[in-house]
Structure 1
């Protein structure tokens, strides 16, 4: 049996000692792929680390490091006195690490496509699916997610034997989930709304797309933060909307000059609780000024409440939607960061007179979000598991933020400086003037520090070169060596 299992593993593994990636990382990625391919089914016992090391021709610590990481991600489990096994409840939502297939035709090369199709060919719509790598931004701590509790909720809901679960569900969303979201917003965000104002969507970006298509026309202008989230930026551009890039300063989006130069924006897309990537907050004065603009002109405000759940000092800031008295704010929330991205459940909180329009839009474009996931999430929230998980994650992320800052201060002295965030899952590391942050990001990734260049988020030149690094999904043992590796990269580039 052990020989057959060892053969199943080895047949899918080829380690390259010339690669920039470590042997442990290569082994981890390839073992994950073998498990997810089904070559090692759930419950399979792995050979001992000594056996694998001997047959692969690597050191035992290399194998142990790879197995420990996979265990932390939930792919493997160790049973005292029995050995290491593929977990019996694989976390299917985790990154699968499958190799990306090359397109047979270059992007944008197809003939006779629509204007929308042509715009898609000019944009970088790629996303990094390997979000378990250290320091990659926006990555939750998958190893601390309560898989067992979540699976119990899923099992109870999917085993209910009534026909309604097998067909299309209400396009507006599962009523108990909308009630749970309304209760959560009232308690934790100070935002009192009714379940009737909430529309469930397959993720936040589906909500942004719906808002753009329901409330604006092609060529309409949208105020957009610079720097700002590049995937949302590309989404609006692909839909033919004209983006007015507005600089972000210490008080958030500074839109006065943009409104003077372009008096006709139809919409503003803002992240008032925490700009991504800089982490800055829209000041109360600017919030009110933006609300006044929307009321006076009939404009719309899309409030992306990005990772507001993770605030480390005091309660989360009130949403703009909670102080909107004219019904001009469309609030968008998601469970991608609080739980896990592959859940693909987002939601809109709408003025009452827009609910019917958005419900119809969901029905026509998506039919509905998957009902079993909505039902499981409704139970997860109603039973208090969501609140418990958030409390645990806030504490864990606060500790990891402190570890990140300590490691950055020690390794980066004289080389780089990290901003200490008071919320969120990421931090900006500022680099010396004159360095190219895209070059540093590429070299750092080769050294095992995976982050994004600040320039990737900017239309205008960033105030300083920098990297956006995540700390939420990083294990304690990785902070010091990761920052030391980044310091070596920066020191070499600065010579």
Structure 2
């Protein structure tokens, strides 16, 4: 019985009793058009004839006639013992995003009336990560080395038997077992213990930033923001109506003294102390202490993005700012996008106790909850020791790939660019010689089948020499030299 119910639901099949066209012709034409327009794609199995008869209101004899006609025309094919399918020999329609199709169909329509945020969203890009994963794509972990078999075992363990706990909305702050596992991880690996009740789970790091700024600042309030800095985060804060207080970055990280002098009344500071993106520098201890003192004295907040803290190749990971905060001014944001894989979409905030209730409520209003199944699987993965083992393996792998990148890059890029590879993270910078424009050079790199980001895209106000951001973590060691040779050829053509 279950097999007979297989196949898509076809709501477009409608009979018009008043039409002059015979019923069989109406159904035949509607099915043909659905196939031609790509609504029924090649290889799609149609419902059993008995089911179609009941749903459409035709006799079985008439429906068989329709199907036989479409088979004769080449639109359908019968497979012995399996049923009737849309012919696999038909060309598949090009996969054009629906929003592009809609824009292409109405090029002359006036722009719609939008809210202020909606209007800004039209102008602000959020496409980081949408690029084809070509070699040297920045921020890309070695996804091919992720232990998917172990992940699947954890998934099967928490969902076996259709456990009710995995099927509901879940706790507004995130599943307790996952918050406990994250607290244990932070205590051991970041030397930063916290109570699981201080943690709120979010659908990724970007959602964590959104939750924090909406809870702590009003539109028009100032936010310290490093320049250069992550472009999508800048676009997010700008679109939400906050005033971006751009601060310089040097070898010691954010210029805290300069920011305090220029923007003393800012409401919040967004900072990446463990590894700045894209420059790769770390915030020095004197500046961390100065930042904490500014926040205390001005009743301000620090949003700490613990970017790439898991991957440090020279010594232990640096302590977080939160771990030395004695006045509860730091909101710590972490995620699993780089440590596991970007599509996992699980992030978290560690909050001062007085903010927990507010953040839980706001998270419930905005996100409701992160998929409970994913949270439980991640908790099982961490609790079983698989996360720590994976991090250990990836640190070793990325250290090897980093060394191979530096060694091969010095030779291949001599006279073209200077390699700057920080002691942590997944990316490196290639500072271009001769003052060439990094945006123009990137086009040549893309044409060579490689990927990179221009540093200019991350810079708002402070002029910087031209550079390209390259991700080495996703490139196998044995492919590093030939890919860098191809990269050098692209630079030579610029």
Normalising by structure 1, we get a TM-score of: 0.78
What's the offset of the Cα at 1:460? 2.4
Q: Residue by residue, what CA displacement relative to the aligned partner does 1:98-137 show, whole Å, maximum 9, x if unpaired?
A: 6545263489964221111111112112223345321000
Residue 324 (structure 2) pairs with residue 323 (structure 1): yes
Give 2:476's aligned residue.
475
Name the SS for the 1:430 alignment partner: strand
Give 2:422's aligned residue.
421
What's the offset of the Cα at 1:477? 3.2
Residue 102 (structure 2) pairs with residue 104 (structure 1): yes
Give 2:296's aligned residue.
295
Instruction: Rate the CA distance shift 1:217–1:188 in 2: closer, same or farther, 3 A.
Output: same
Task: For 1:98 and 1:248, locate their aligned partners in 2 and report how far apart those are by CA, in whole Å.
Answer: 42
Deviates more, 1:116-125 or 1:321-330: 116-125
Q: Residue by residue, what CA displacement relative to the aligned partner does 1:163-185 show, whole Å, maximum 9, x if unpaired?
A: 23222101111111100000000
Give 1:247's aligned residue.
248
Q: How does 1:333-348 map to 2 (within 5 A)?
A: 333-348=334-349
Give 2:116's aligned residue.
115
Name the SS for the 1:248 alignment partner: strand
What's the offset of the Cα at 1:420? 2.5
Task: For 1:209 and 1:107, locate their aligned partners in 2 and report how far apart those are by CA, in whole Å.
Answer: 34
Task: For 1:129 and 1:367, locate their aligned partners in 2 and report how far apart those are by CA, in whole Å.
Answer: 25
Larger Rg: 2
Give 2:163's aligned residue.
162
Give 1:17's aligned residue.
none
Q: How many residues align?
A: 402
C-alpha contact 2:337 2:346 (8 A) present in aligned 1: yes
What's the offset of the Cα at 1:434? 1.9
Task: For 1:289 and 1:38, locate their aligned partners in 2 and report how far apart those are by CA, in whole Å.
Answer: 63
Q: Residue by residue, what CA displacement relative to the aligned partner does 1:305-336 show, whole Å, maximum 9, x if unpaired?
A: 01110000111000001001110100000000
What's the offset of the Cα at 1:304? 0.2
Give 1:352's aligned residue.
353
Instruction: Rate the CA distance shift 1:213–1:103 in 2: closer, same or farther, 3 A.
Output: farther
C-alpha contact 2:418 2:432 (8 A) present in aligned 1: yes
C-alpha contact 2:222 2:266 (8 A) present in aligned 1: yes
Q: Residue by residue, what CA displacement relative to the aligned partner does 1:268-301 show, whole Å, maximum 9, x if unpaired?
A: 0000000000100000000000000000011010
Q: How does 1:392-403 map to 2 (within 5 A)?
A: 392-403=393-404
Name the SS for the 1:104 alignment partner: helix
Deviates more, 1:115-124 or 1:142-151: 115-124
What's the offset of the Cα at 1:158? 1.5
Task: For 2:215 and 2:313, locate their aligned partners in 1 and report how far apart those are by CA, in whole Å.
Answer: 36
Name the SS for the 2:102 alignment partner: coil
Give 1:152's aligned residue.
153
Give 1:215's aligned residue.
216
Please, which runs of 5 or more residues in structure 2 have no aligned partner?
Answer: 1-40, 45-93
Q: How does 1:195-234 map to 2 (within 5 A)?
A: 195-234=196-235
Task: For 2:109 and 2:129, locate their aligned partners in 1 and report how far apart those are by CA, in whole Å.
Answer: 21
Give 2:86's aligned residue.
none
C-alpha contact 2:444 2:493 (8 A) present in aligned 1: no
C-alpha contact 1:448 1:482 (8 A) present in aligned 2: no
Name the SS for the 2:443 alignment partner: helix
C-alpha contact 2:181 2:382 (8 A) present in aligned 1: yes
Deviates more, 1:480-489 or 1:269-278: 480-489
C-alpha contact 1:223 1:243 (8 A) present in aligned 2: yes
Q: How does 1:277-288 map to 2 (within 5 A)?
A: 277-288=278-289
Give 2:262's aligned residue.
261
What's the offset of the Cα at 1:464? 1.2
